[in-house]
Chain A
Amino acid sequence: MAKTDDLAQIIIGCKNRDSKCFSQIVDMYASRCYGYFYRLTVNKDLSDELLSELFVKLVEKIASYKGGSFDGWLFKIAANIFHDYLRSKQRRKKLLDVQKEQLESHFTEPKQSNNEQIDKLQMQLTRLDTDTRELIMLRFYSELSFKEIAQMRSEPIGTTLAKLHRGLKKLRELMR
């Protein structure tokens, strides 16, 4: 409860354009949001860019936050930013190239790519379809309830549950 109250105070500060409150929000959410972007894009530079975009959007849109789950609201913006990225033709090409590289190195040892080490989990995640991967990452990093996720995705909760279970089960098999 104390955490919720603190967050509410910070959000009020953000609405009053207090840069310290924005800094606190960045400290609280940067790690989770970065993880979300990184696991979806598999690219550090791109994740840096998307994370910056997210917090810039936060500054622009904080006045439109009318209460409710702040995590849900923030990750909705993050999901929209990721979708915008996917829609961008140029960036899509970049993503496909990266994914192609990863698929080529699928059965080899993890190797350095663009000064990054792709971990085993990341390699297996790329074998899942984009929607399932996004759902798993949203659930894991946003820590939202299934009800909130289903609402965010505008689908019945049963569908969300089934998709997530199927995706995680497949991931578990791939990781064995």
Chain B
Amino acid sequence: MNDENQENLKELFEKFLDAEQAERNVEDIQKAEEILREHPAPEPDAMLIANIKAEIAMRLPARRAYVFKHITYKAACAAAAVMFLTAIGLNLFQKSPRKPNGMQLTSIIPTAIWDSDDIAAADADLAIFTTEIEQIEDELLTLQSGEDEGNGDSTITELEMELIEINNSDFWKG
């Protein structure tokens, strides 16, 4: 038995028991272990030891071969996975209709809003609308300058009617 362990035994027992009891317990253990030493167990046969060593020697190359095979299979699997993913990646880029050649600009406002199905009609409507606005501006200026000699109420009524007419027209709805 380890001397170091024996030395610590009393100390260990003293953690749980009083010094006298601890010493008695250590003595019990030491005497019992002396009995164990006096009655040694049989030794293993030399043949058994030789067989064990032979079996270990036999298992070692097998183990090495297994480890080598295992590593090879792992490497092959990893290589296959990389090749597969590369092939998929290349395939995707080649077939892609949009190549990332440069920056593309676009408006966030749908172009349909600015477009008109009938450009000529839209231009004519715009011309009429501009003329009406100009006419209203002239009338307002006349009113502000006090040059209108007619009835002021009737002028306002006329303006209101023109605004209602503009409002009711559909040209700006597209």
- Chain A: residues with CB nearer than 8 A to chain B? 17, 19, 22-23, 26-27, 30-31, 34-35, 38-39, 44, 47-48, 51-52, 55-56, 59-60, 116, 119-122, 136, 140, 143-146, 157-158, 161-162, 164-165, 168-169, 171-172, 175
Contacts and interface: CB of A to CB of B under 8 A. Distances in A.
8 shortest A-B CB distances, which residue pairs?
A168-B32, A35-B41, A121-B39, A34-B44, A172-B32, A19-B57, A38-B41, A22-B56
A52 B53 contact: no
B127 to A, nearest CB: 92
A145 B5 contact: yes
B117 interface: no
Contacts of A168: 28-29, 32-33
15 contacts: A23-B56, A30-B49, A31-B43, A31-B44, A34-B43, A38-B42, A51-B52, A119-B39, A121-B36, A122-B39, A140-B33, A158-B15, A165-B28, A168-B28, A168-B29
Interface residues of B, number: 37
Nearest to B30: A168
Nearest to A48: B48
Contact of A171 (B1, B35, B60): B35
A51 B48 contact: yes
B69 interface: no
Interface of B: 1-2, 4-5, 8-9, 12-13, 15-16, 25, 28-29, 31-33, 35-36, 39-45, 48-49, 51-53, 55-57, 59-60, 63-64
A143 B33 CA distance: 12
A56 B56 contact: yes
Contact of B35 (A38, A116, A172): A172
Contacts of A27: 49
A161 B12 contact: yes
Contacts of A140: 1, 33, 36
A112 to B, nearest CB: 14
Contacts of A162: 16
A116 B41 CA distance: 12
A76 to B, nearest CB: 17
A161 B15 CA distance: 11
Contacts of B43: 31, 34
A140 B49 CA distance: 22
Given A52-B55, A56-B59, A161-B12, A17 B64 contact: yes
Nearest to A158: B16
Given A146-B12, A158-B16, A26 B56 contact: yes
A34 B2 contact: no
Contacts of A121: 35-36, 39
